[in-house]
A and B are shown apart, each in its own frame.
Chain A
């Protein structure tokens, strides 16, 4: 098929950059440019999704020489995991641009230009298979995010942006140092080292990578693994690296928060799956217990902290920490040390279930969390900026459709069966219970607290007596309903027919698990 001959992944990455360049100079029409660009990206990402190889291996590969003496190669490719993340990023960015309707009066050209640059960073990092290339886009997404918070954020945006920048930058430096060490260790007098993820994963699987590193630098392999984990742990985030997040999510304008939680946090989870586990499998398996402890803490403490908040954005921020904690739980649980148990079929099945769940959860959380922040931004624009859960009450009477749709999104976040949030969490728990029942049991507490948090929000905001000043709370108008309908529809669709995604990612999951060595 000649479609496959096109450098479609490059095309997808370049498209938002072109859009950004146009948007910057189109002033108040920037949003239209951004809408068309992101819409085109969604379509293109869906095309990519249908072109993925059926056996779950990495397809649509593009390779070209770049800077061979530094081990830098232009190497792109996606499997089910990368493809799903492309679709997610494209959808979330489209939602964010949609949500930015009324909020950007100040320098709209720049705003949408930065959003589109951020999207290019996402696409690039989800398709790159060489460290240099990947790192370029990883950083490329950081800079626009910083300025989006810094210039369009809430009252404390300055410190929130700086904190976000410093944390992520520190994580990036740790990542860079680890890969520098790997590059040095794999290089010899005659040949430069490698930074290719696939090649490094193959070397890790047959044990030669650890030998090389040890021969070259001494027993530092665990430290390199910690460096890489730290970089991703900040981004996801894993406790105790999460402290930048609530401030950044709360201060960022809502469309940007949608991008941060919906797509950028997935860069961390994706990095764990594409980079950390394949290359540092045995080291992560050796640290499995403390990591599981941290993941369970992330789940429980995230939920608990969410319960203590009154600002809706902070509630959702902590709840995001909690939801991504399930992903971390699943990832660390499936890193079962090979020596502990011979890879029996039951372990294999549990690992597959957990990994399927993790990938589904990444997608579902992205959609649901982005939708929730969208609803909050609508509440803010209707109430003159209020977003405390105690500021509202009885909204379901004046605004039944708003309350109904946001309720659906909240229930999806809670994990109600029939909606998308349920499937991922169910599969994660199904896998984790047989791999590490203690952490699974502890984490169930997180599920309970989350349920309490979300029901509290529903009760305080939508039920109860209608406060007088909200008696005329405007309901969703036609345009908003049209914009939200596909998102809510997607929640039902994936809740009822998860096979739409699972059929494509399950081969990838099996393929990944077959190649990982712990």
Chain B
């Protein structure tokens, strides 16, 4: 499984060295690297059934500080590595038409993927942080060079938010290292160091918010919609699909894993809020409802999906804050599910529709009657939209159901309020669907004639392949959630038990 990191970085390096004027070569090369990564991830995942935490590499890296080069994976990591593999392959399929500096595009892309794999497999806090930073840099360039609407602004906003978050994480990390005095930065050593409760109380929110920024936590989410919209299709898919998961993963692995007592009650409560747990759960709930309501008001197709990501990531954070088995299970499952579904939605909006119509405004899409001209896009969006709404049979349903059940056990009001978010979710998805594809107005003769002259380019095979890959994943997980839950459940159990010590 660790080879996923190696081949991604090696691939990035080689892609950068490929000749600039041979985009076809760069594409196939990148696809081959990503497919190899996916194959390794699948093999590693399949081998992980029934296994607990597997340690792949453990070498002392910086002996003076006790920094280890420790790569390990438990069920949660394996699920997210699998997600990264799937997202990276589909992202390349949907950026088949990138012609500008193709080799560099894929070099940055693969570097980003390598960083993401690294974060999910790190067993050492410092190493995790290094990979986390590595992932941010290529993201900036991907958006700033290959992006669309206000790309410099979006890229800069994203980078600044990320760095602020990283700075918070870094402070927390150093403080934890010093306080623990264990002379080791491995997660296991820090978790068992017995950090004082009062220390955890202030360090936990610092780290949680630091990671939470990247997970789209309200009110620090504003980078997400602008970043998603500015990014080229593949980058939005990766942003929503895996980069936001980095934040959520950090919240879980580092925030909850290292500072479990940071969630203890303060002893005083104000308006029913008596701990950091209540604070962050409410922020998550607000994010769910706010993201959904804002998505309902958008006129730009991609912004709808951007805000829906904020709403869906709110479910992940809420699931984490339930601190019970089923809720955290649901949160991890939702990370996977949202990665797949958001990837599919961004692919349709950004690649399949925008690259053909060159507009994302509903007002301009409505008279285009895309359900007739791009039936494949329309029906794929129906499929992805239904999955995103959380209808049964798709991965989102199982994940959100578990989170709601977990939240109910923690605090029923959270469930009730987030239920409103789900209903609004149905509304904004359906609204976008009707506006973008299924307009009721019949085309005028003039429009029909214009259509004849201006035929939209046909759907290409990479698009079919990418849709098939992502669609199959959400359906398989939706119909047979045990395929992921069998690995998630024991890992979450261990993590929560470790936290309770």
Cβ of B329 within 8 Å of any chain A Cβ, yes or no, is yes
Closest A residue to B489 by CB, please name it: A69
Q: Is the CB of A69 within 8 A of B329?
A: yes
Contact residues in B for A135 (Cβ distance below 8 Å): 392
Q: Is residue B393 contacting chain A, with contact meaning CB distance below 8 A?
A: yes
Residue interface bits B395-428, CB-to-A below 8 A is 1, else 0 = 0001001101100110000000001001100100
Contact pick for A67, options B391, B393, B485, CB 8 Å: B485
CA distance A13 to B391 in the complex (A): 19
A66 contacts B480, CB within 8 Å? yes
A183: which B residues are within 8 A, CB to CB? 405
Docked-complex contact A66 and B482, CB < 8 angstroms: yes
Residues of B within 8 A of A158 (CB): 434, 440
Whether B423 lies near A136 (C-beta < 8 A) is: no
Give Cα A139–Cα B393 distance, bound, in whole angstroms: 9
A sample of 16 more A-B contacts (CB under 8 A), given A67-B398, A132-B392, A139-B393, is A65-B482, A67-B481, A67-B482, A70-B401, A136-B393, A139-B391, A139-B392, A143-B382, A150-B438, A151-B371, A157-B440, A165-B430, A173-B423, A180-B405, A180-B408, A184-B409
Question: A169 contacts the other chain (Cβ, under 8 Å)?
Answer: yes
Residues of chain A within 8 A (CB-CB) of B371 are 151
CB-CB contacts below 8 Å: B318-346 with A? 326, 329
Beyond A67-B398, A169-B426, A180-B404, whether A151 also contacts B409 by CB under 8 A is no
B252 within 8 A of A: no
Encode contact with A along B353-389: 1 for CB under 8 Å, 0 otherwise. Answer: 0000000000000000001000100000010001000
Assuming the contacts A66-B482, A180-B405, asked whether A143 and B326 have C-beta atoms less than 8 A apart, the reply is no
Return B60 CB to nearest CB of chain A, in Å. Answer: 40
B488 and chain A: residue at smallest CB distance: A69
Which secondary structure dominates chain A's binding surface?
Answer: helix
Bitwise interface map of B from 472 to 501 toward A, beta carbon under 8 Å scored 1, else 0: 000000001110010001000000000000
Docked CA distance A147–B404 (Å): 30
Q: What 4 A-B pairs come out closest when comparing CB atoms?
A: A158-B440, A136-B392, A67-B481, A136-B393
Cα-based distance from A158 to B435 in the complex (angstroms):
12
Interface string of A150-184 (1 = CB under 8 A from B): 11000001100010010001000100010010011
Residues from 419 to 456 in B contacting A, C-beta threshold 8 Å: 419, 422-423, 426, 430, 434, 438, 440
A7 smallest CB distance to B (angstroms): 16
Is the pair B386, A143 in contact by a Cβ cutoff of 8 Å?
yes
Does A140 count as interface, using CB distance less than 8 angstroms? Answer: yes
Which residues of the other chain, A, contact B422 by a CB distance below 8 angstroms?
A: 173
Set of chain A residues within 8 Å of B326, measured between Cβ atoms: 69
CA distance A132 to B398 in the complex (A): 10
Inter-chain contacts of A132 with B (CB < 8 A): 392
Residues B85-110 near A (CB distance < 8 A): none
CA distance A408 to B203 in the complex (A): 80
Nearest A residue to B438 via CB reads: A150
7 A-B pairs (CB sep. < 8 Å): A69-B329, A70-B401, A110-B375, A132-B392, A139-B393, A184-B405, A184-B408
Contact A151 B329 (CB under 8 A): no
- Assess whether B438 is in contact with A151, with CB atoms less than 8 Å apart: yes
Q: Which of A70, A107, A132, A143 has the most CB of B within 10 A?
A: A70
Residue ID in chain B nearest A68 by CB atoms = B482
Shortest distance in angstroms between A165's beta carbon and chain B's nearest beta carbon?
7
- Complex CA gap A70/B329 in Å reads 11
8 A Cβ contacts from A67-90 to B: 67-70, 72
Residues of chain B with a CB closer than 8 A to A107's CB: 375
For the complex formed, measure the closest distance between the CB of A395 and the CB atoms of chain B, giving whole angstroms.
32
A393 to nearest B CB, angstroms?
32
B401 touches A180 (CB 8 A): yes
With both chains docked as a complex, state the minimum distance between the C-beta of B322 and any C-beta of chain A, in angstroms.
13
B337 to chain A, nearest CB (A): 14
Contact A140-B485, Cβ < 8 Å, known A69-B326, A180-B401, A184-B409 = no
Contacts of A162 in B (CB 8 A): 430, 434
Which residues on the A side are within 8 Å of B402 (C-beta)? 70
Across-interface contacts of A165 in B (CB, < 8 A): 430
Q: How far is the CA of A474 from the CA of B6 in the complex (A)?
A: 76
Write the chain A residue with the least CB distance to B441: A158
Give the docked Cα–Cα distance between A69 and B485 (Å).
9
Q: Are B392 and A70 in contact (CB under 8 A)?
A: no
Q: What residues on A are CB-neighbors of B398 within 8 Å?
A: 67, 70
**CB of A252 to closest CB in B, whole Å:** 15
Q: Which of A69, A169, A173 has the most CB of B within 10 A?
A: A69
Question: Using Cβ atoms and an 8 Å threshold, which residues of chain B touch A110?
Answer: 375
The answer to whether A70 touches B440, judged by C-beta atoms less than 8 angstroms apart, is no
- Chain A residues whose C-beta falls within 8 Å of the C-beta of B430 in the assembled complex: 162, 165
Q: Which of B171-221 contact A (CB under 8 A)?
A: none
The residues of B that contact A70 with a CB separation of less than 8 Å are: 398, 401-402, 405, 481
Contacts of A177 in B (CB 8 A): 419
Contacting residues, chain B, for A140 (C-beta < 8 A): 393
Looking across the interface, which residue of chain A has its beta carbon closest to that of B478?
Answer: A136
**Set of chain A residues within 8 Å of B426, measured between Cβ atoms:** 169
Which chain B residue has the least Cβ–Cβ distance from A107?
B375
A458–B303 alpha-carbon span in the complex (Å): 56
Closest B residue to A133 using CB positions? B392
In angstroms, Cα B175 to Cα A327, docked, is 70
Given the complex of chains A and B, what is the CA–CA distance between A136 and B329 in angstroms? 21
- Within the assembled complex, what's the spacing in Å between the Cα atoms of A65 and B402? 18
- For window 223-278 of B, CB contacts with A under 8 Å fall at none
| Cβ distance B374 to chain A, nearest Cβ, rounded Å | 13
Report chain A residues within 8 Å CB of B375.
Answer: 107, 110
A114-155 interface code vs B (CB 8 A; 1 in, 0 out): 000000000000000000100110011001000100110000
Residues of B within 8 A of A180 (CB): 401, 404-405, 408
Q: In the assembly, what is the distance between CA of A483 and CA of B79, in Å?
A: 54
- Against A, the Cβ 8 Å flags (1 = close, 0 = not) of B291-326 are 000000000000000000000000000000000001
Residue of A nearest to B372 (CB): A107
CB neighbours (8 Å) of A69 from chain B are 326, 329, 485, 489
Could you tell me the distance in whole angstroms from the C-beta of A460 to the nearest C-beta in chain B?
32
**Could you give, for residues 408-424 of chain A, a 1 whenever the CB lies within 8 Å of some chain B CB and a 0 otherwise?**
00000000000000000
